[in-house]
Structure 1
């Protein structure tokens, strides 16, 4: 269990992970499981992410901006059309996003458990707990 208070808003939420680096995907899975979430994926490609985003029941998503050399924005667009909140994950922070995607919740790599929790809580429209 992580060193933070479990946020009830995240318990039993199904979270899609789109991440091509297996160690980062495994870390995110561990963090999300510690938060009480259920995992969709992880998907290591944009096409896999789009497929899950279109067809599966998910509550939110964590999207690596650059997935195997391909930008993740088709997944983000699919989620946006369905009204599903998402968080971008990037080594460049929000400043590395194209203008149209700025303002969306973003975590910068390397991230902490608390940063992931707070970003998801924010994306889901709740105030993070300390």
Structure 2
């Protein structure tokens, strides 16, 4: 079982992702609904992977992505805006499009947590 951070400002989407993670046999960290909440969880919790909504109200998740990257924690972005809206530094990261295709979400989560589940 991997611990996956969920960051999304929409409570229903965060709950849906949490339910999917449980169905896939993983534990949800959070969910965090803001950049500040997410950064606090990154600093204080054991996390194996993360799914980050790009747009968090009036902010974005790129500080969270930076913090995860510095800790070597794999993550994927979730967005309805497409890869063209991503900063160059993050364009090579995995991205899942909204609305979600649940099979794609499962594939991405499996890829993100593969190192954690092999321990």
TM-score by length of 2: 0.91
Residue 73 of structure 1: which of 62, 67, 71 is its match? 62
Change (3 A) 1:78 1:116: same
Does the CA-based 8 Å contact 2:54-2:78 persist in structure 1?
Answer: yes
Distance 1:125 1:69 in 2: 33
Pick from 69, 85, 88 the counterpart of residue 77 of structure 2.
88
Q: Comparing both structures, which one devotes a greater share of its residues to helix?
A: 2
* Aligned counterparts of 1:38 and 1:106: Cα–Cα separation in 2: 21
Gap runs ≥5 in structure 1: 1-11
SS in 1 for 2:99: coil
- 1:34 lines up with 2:23 in the alignment: yes
Q: Give the distance between the partners of 1:27 and 1:93, measured in 2 at CA.
A: 21
Report the TM-score when normalising by structure 1.
0.83
Tell me the number of residue pairs that the alignment of Structure 1 and Structure 2 aligns.
115
Tell me the CA shift for residue 125 of structure 1: 5.5
Are the aligned partners of 1:19 and 1:44 in contact in 2 as well (CA < 8 Å)? yes
* Distance in 1 of aligned mates of 2:59 and 2:74: 21
Deviation track 1:12-70 (CA, whole Å, cap 9, x = no partner) reads 10000010101111110111111001010000010110111122101000100011220
Question: Alignment partner of 1:54: what SS?
Answer: helix
Distance between the aligned counterparts of 1:124 and 1:94, measured in 2?
22
CA distance in 1 between counterparts of 2:64 and 2:104 reads: 22
Q: Does the C-alpha gap of structure 1 residues 75 and 15 become closer, same or farther in structure 2, counting only changes over 3 Å? A: same
1:56 to 2:48 alignment:
no
In structure 1, the partner of 2:6 is: 17
